[in-house]
Amino acid sequence: MYFHHRSKLENLRISHIIAAIALMIGIAFLVVTLDPYSYLRAHGYPRQLVSAFQAFLVLCAGVAFLIKIRALSISDFGFMKEKRKNTLLWGCIGGLLLGIVQFPYKIVAGDRSVPMDLYVDSQYHGLFWILLFLLFVTILIPILQELFYRFYLYWGIRNRFGRFWAYSASALLFSLGHEPFNSGRILLFLLSSLILTYLYEKTEYLGSSVIAHMVWNAIWYTAAYLLV
């Protein structure tokens, strides 16, 4: 498949991806070592928000490093006037499909509770903190994840090893970033990652996978917060 921006990504190498991942691991280790959680929790900040902010910082570090190698433009996202409708359409379709695949059926049915790391309890924290947490997990983090996994990681591997390994590696690393390897749910994240990569390839623009990821997360958190 031909991508309009492929020629601009040919200088992206696997060594760049490895360096970005090493930087992200270093930032994560530094944050854990400094242990800001105790201080922030003591001052009333929800631990779920602190965890989301940590993930945001780690992703920011990796993406910022890779942006220096290959800068982004609006054309990468497909939000130009002539492409916007197609990007939005496929993004919404993909997001609804992912919402069905990843819908918290057992949580809504009452068979299991919402994981505490994903739920800011309104009994202890106000609406502001809930909305700020949802801003991170439904908009900011999905954007950074798509930039890293579906754009930079995908092309860094594809340029060296080809399309199959780009699909496989991006799906595996994305899944491990959400669930441990021995979790049964990792298969759902593998499938979801493959769907997101397919959307990116089909439309040739990152905007479709970004929108799909946002819609998916919005469906999950709406169900977890309003239907439980």
Q: Give 135-158 pLDDT, tens digit per residue.
A: 999 999 999 999 999 999 999 999
What pLDDT is recorded for position 66? 96
In a domain, 64, yes or no: no
Confidence grade of residue 134 (pLDDT, cut at 50, 70, 90): very high
In a domain, 99, yes or no: yes
Is-above-0.75 flag for pTM?
yes
Rg of the chain in Å (alpha carbons):
18
In a domain, 187, yes or no: yes
In a domain, 33, yes or no: no
What pLDDT is recorded for position 11? 83
Highest mean pLDDT, choosing among 85-89, 112-116, 179-183: 85-89
Confidence grade of residue 23 (pLDDT, cut at 50, 70, 90): very high
What pLDDT is recorded for position 181? 82
Which domain covers residue 182, as residue numbers? 78-226
pLDDT digits (tens, 9 = 90+) for 52-95: 988 999 999 999 999 999 888 888 998 888 889 999 999 999 99
What pLDDT is recorded for position 4? 57
Interhelix angle 84-101/186-203, nearest 10 degrees: 170
Residue 130 has pLDDT above 70, yes or no: yes
In a domain, 35, yes or no: no
151 neighbors 5 (Cβ within 8 angstroms): no
What pLDDT is recorded for position 35? 72
What pLDDT is recorded for position 74? 84
Phi/psi region, residue 32 (left: phi>0; alpha: psi -120 to 50; beta: rest), is alpha
Return the DSSP state at 102. S
In a domain, 143, yes or no: yes
179 neighbors 185 (Cβ within 8 angstroms): yes
Confidence grade of residue 194 (pLDDT, cut at 50, 70, 90): very high
- Contacts (Cβ under 8 Å, ≥6 apart) of 30: none
How many domains does one find in the chain? Answer: 1
In a domain, 151, yes or no: yes
pLDDT digits (tens, 9 = 90+) for 1-15: 556 565 567 788 999
Stated as kind and residue range, the H or E segment containing 217 is: helix 206-226
In a domain, 18, yes or no: no
Average pLDDT, rounded, for the chain: 89
